[in-house]
């Protein structure tokens, strides 16, 4: 299941494929009078296949299910996710959509036509276009907005957060898109909204905190704020050594800043904490913390 979580995680780094980041989109059919207890067994089984990364099996069941239940927005939503899951990353974002992407697009649009307030389907649509973004946005924008993946992705994410501003995935994916297009202030607002929305949802909160923390870590002078977000995530994942290492690396960065500003007491305190936190003392950042601590000892000995 870890691969299916980055979105948000990979998301925030701005480097992973959209497929890797949508794995934890939860079904949330707004405007539906049904309940989770009434979910058809066929749909529940298909969703389990999707969440396990068994996209072909999910597609087989969802194609059969949506043929029978033609008004199930949730069925078409998961069909869109599953086709996107097997689509892979486009070799050339400018190339035509693959057959799998076309079917994913059709399924998401069908879900939204059946339920215009299905926010996760709008997120999925945004992710489908996000994966096709070129490395940089052309200076001259397309004369046809319907062919511009930046415009299409942005419109889809905006639709999602308008439908349900408290859906963590909608805000987080929108934040990653805004960061990608250089709208940093708007991206931070979206990350804040995602973190606030995820706070009461333990299975989602840590990934959102990490995503926001990584965003802050990439901004000048925001390392300590990034640490704060990581530590919130650590409350849910106390045994996650990878997360602990990331926090230690950020403490090293903060400690180095103190050292460079000749705030030696704070530098020593922070770097000692960082070094103790590193699960692997041979990590380059751990070695950097140790080297700066040696310099501090030499300064103290003068």
Torsion 240-244-245-246 (CA) sign: positive
Count of the separate structural domains present in the chain? 1
* pLDDT grade for 204, boundaries at 50, 70 and 90: very high
Contact 61, 69 (CB under 8 A): no
Give the list of residues 6+ apart from residue 53 with CB closer than 8 angstroms, or none: 3, 4, 23, 85
Does 222 map to a domain? no
Question: pLDDT by residue (tens digit) across 62-106?
Answer: 999 999 999 999 999 999 999 999 987 776 777 888 999 999 999
In whole angstroms, what is the distance from residue 259 CA to residue 270 CA? 10
Does 261 map to a domain? no
For residue 126, the Cα-to-chain-centroid distance in whole angstroms is 13
Selected residue with higher pLDDT from 259 and 145: 259
Cα atoms in the 13 Å half-sphere on the side-chain side of 144: 2
Does 105 map to a domain? yes
Does 23 map to a domain? yes
Residue 133 belongs to domain spanning? 9-200
CATH number at residue 173: 1.25.40.10
Query: Comparing 112-116, 163-167, 196-200, 220-224, which segment has the lowest mean pLDDT?
Result: 220-224
This prediction's pTM: 0.80
């Amino acid at each position: 299941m870890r691969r299916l979580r980055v979105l948000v995680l990979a998301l925030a780094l701005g480097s992973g494929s959209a497929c890797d980041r949508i794995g934890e989109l939860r079904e949330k059919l707004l405007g539906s009078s049904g309940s989770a207890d009434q979910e058809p067994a066929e749909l529940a089984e298909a969703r389990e296949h999707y969440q396990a990364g068994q996209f072909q099996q999910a597609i087989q069941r969802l194609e059969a299910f949506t043929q029978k239940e033609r008004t199930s927005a949730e069925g078409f939503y998961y069909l869109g996710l599953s086709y996107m899951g097997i689509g892979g990353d486009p070799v050339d974002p400018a190339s035509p959509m693959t057959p799998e992407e076309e079917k994913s697009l059709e399924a998401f649009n069908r879900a939204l036509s059946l339920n215009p307030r299905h926010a996760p389907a709008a997120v999925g649509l945004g992710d489908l276009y996000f994966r096709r973004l070129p490395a940089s946005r052309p200076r001259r924008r397309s004369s046809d907005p319907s062919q511009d993946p930046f415009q299409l992705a942005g419109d889809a994410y905006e639709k999602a957060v308008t439908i349900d501003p408290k859906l963590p995935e909608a805000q987080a994916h929108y934040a990653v898109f805004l960061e990608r297009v250089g709208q940093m202030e708007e991206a931070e607002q979206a990350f804040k909204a995602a973190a606030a929305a995820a706070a009461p949802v333990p299975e989602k909160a840590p990934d959102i905190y990490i995503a926001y923390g990584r965003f802050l870590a990439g901004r000048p002078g925001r390392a300590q704020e990034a640490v704060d977000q990581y530590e919130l995530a650590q409350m849910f994942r106390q045994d996650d050594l990878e997360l602990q290492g990331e926090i230690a690396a950020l403490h090293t960065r903060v400690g180095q800043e103190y050292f460079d500003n000749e705030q030696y007491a704070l530098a020593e305190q922070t770097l000692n904490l960082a070094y103790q936190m590193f699960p692997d003392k041979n990590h380059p950042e751990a070695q950097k913390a140790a080297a700066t601590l040696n310099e501090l000892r030499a300064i103290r000995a003068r």
